[in-house]
Amino acid sequence: MNFFAAQDDARRRTKWLVVYFALAIIGVILSVYGIVYIAMLYTGMTVNPWMPGVFTATALGTGGVMGTGSLFKTMQLNGGGAVVAKDLGARQIDPHTNDADERRLVNVVEEMAIASGLPVPGIWLMDDELAINAFAAGTEPGNAVVAVTRGCLQRLSRSELQGVVAHEFSHILNGDMKLNMRLMGLLFGVLMISMIGRMLFQALRFMRVRSSSSKNNGAGVVVVIVLAGVALMIVGSIGVFFGRLIQAAISRQREYLADASAVQFTRDPEGIAGALKKIGGQQEGARINAPKATEASHLFFADGGMFSYGLATHPPLNIRIKAIQKNWDGEFVATTLPDVAEGRATSEHQRDARASGFSGSAAATPPPISRAQIDRLGEPSEVDAAVGHLLYESLQADWVSACHDREEAQALIFGLLLAEDNKLRDEEILFIKNGAGKDAGKLALQWNHQLGDLHSSEKVALVDLSIPTLRRLSLPEYDRFVEITQWLIASDGQVDLFEFMLQHVVERHLNSHFRPGSMAKMKYHNMDTLFNEANILVTTMAAVGGEDQMSSAYQAATAEWPWQLEMATAAECGLRSIELALEKFDHATPLVKKQLIRMLGLAVMHDGIVESREAELLRATADAIGCAIPPFTKRV
């Protein structure tokens, strides 16, 4: 299954999630009604088994509490993965950390992001959790986080840690992360009844009976509160059962896919299998002790050991390992703290990667692209962690360090947007100095000189590395940053297409952090409703190679179209039209997006070569509609 199909499957599972949630609400309402009925019998009231008025009041009250809880949690989760990480007691790792274990994690996550074509997610650590576990959370890649336990860092080798991180990146890429966040929001409502019952018990600690005259009444109130608390906790346990049922129904099959994808990403089944064996061999297993772990149990790399009523959210460890290693002997691996079999900075996987070399420079011959590779765009086989490592190694160390600095990261984006014309570039530098300070203008010019001839894959890698740093800007700083980038693009009156796409991508990944909103809904389910927008984007992409190649590129892209269309005119391909087309495709289903990406790929690759500029634009266009394309590189 490729990632577009996986994303579409996750989208369809969202519909079943709503059905399961409705069944959970019905089950809880019936249980509450049963308790109300018993309570009325106990007080001596004359009642019938079926009382429409009482049932309606019960349904409205119970449904209102659960619905309000779900709505509240969903709105809270719109803030992105950092909300979940904080709830679980994690802290964000400083990218400049000097801790060897944390530095190793930062390198692994950054390399995997580069290999996947994703912006680097926030990197968080659960310091107090000594078991081996991890999770990815967020409503979209722009506000995603990857968090691991302290046990992961102390017990796993680099290749095993890479396998765990690759598993979590699979959840980001194939749509599980967004589905899991929706699931958390809905489940909170299901758990509300049980939470209210616990709150009633906690309230008893603060109640006092002050006088003998009120003693009987006070005791009666206490009895009522105790009975109400017990009843609500019983009903709440039914809600928890349904919650675990939903988690298990949604999550278990997705874990097999994520394991398989991790093997494809790393080309190293020993890595993720080794991590699973160590989980099975340690006393703590994968247990997470954070109070809110139950709500997020379906997010974790392995079942966190929370009470599951026999409905585990993950397949058994032995079955997961057998799926990866058919000849596994059934032995788990016991570990002690710390226990890392390989060196912290270097592994065999890394040494193999360094030995293979990397043709990332602009002077290198662009890699030839086959028709089969075009058809595989979006498949996990195209993501290669070794390529991410090679790209990461090809970047100068001071560049990577600069991407972690707030001022440098902004200047890097400014530098990529500066004009080629010297006079105009001087005006742009002056505008940057006036808006962001003298140092910003100087740094932007330095970045412009250094990155001008850099290969597209390395430019995009630097942008991806800068995204988490730019998220640390204050809102006023971010607004100033956006204002400057927009001015740089429009300063010459002729907006360069790549500059436009780059600015669009950066804003896309940052807006979800600075101005979080509701999760995007799918509006377009087939290409027939978007063929005009597709024609605009395909025509634009065909023009990148020059007028002499435009016609052949367009024909290659549209040869299989069922519609008889002609190339859009220059007027029809204005920037506003392109922006509107991207916005519509951003709300299309994953499989519709795949059709577009394939056509754009055919336009770019019609001559079998992907030039650096073509690769930049193709990846930026795909990113603008929420599709990650790995870098176009080759080993030599």
Catalytic residues: 168
Which residue type is seen at 343?
G
Q: Is the dihedral of CA 78, 79, 80, 86 positive or negative?
A: negative
| Angle value at C-alpha 513, between 508 and 519, nearest 5 degrees | 75
Q: Is the dihedral of CA 28, 30, 36, 41 positive or negative?
A: negative
Alpha helices in 420-496 (DSSP H): 422-436, 438-451, 456-470, 475-490
Strand, coil or helix: 91: strand
In 3D space, the residue among 262, 49, 103 whose CA is nearest the CA of residue 169 turns out to be 262
In 3D space, the residue among 336, 278, 332, 286 whose CA is nearest the CA of residue 129 turns out to be 286
Which residue type is seen at 440?
A
In 3D space, the residue among 581, 582, 587, 594 whose CA is nearest the CA of residue 627 turns out to be 594
What is the β-pairing status of strands 145-149 and 134-137? Answer: antiparallel
Print burial letters for 345-356: b (CB count within 10 Å at least 16), e (below 16): eebebbeebeee
Residues ≥6 apart with Cβ < 8 Å to 504: 579, 582, 620, 624
Instruction: Give the count of beta carbons closer than 10 Å to the beta carbon of residue 599.
Output: 25
DSSP sequence for 104-172: HHHHHHHHHHHHHT-PPPEEEEETT--S--EEEE-SSGGG-EEEEEHHHHHH--HHHHHHHHHHHHHHH
Strand, coil or helix: 516: coil
Residue 45: phi, psi to the nearest 5?
A: -75, 150
Alpha helices in 45-122 (DSSP H): 52-77, 81-87, 100-116
Beta carbons of 143 and 86 less than 8 angstroms apart: no
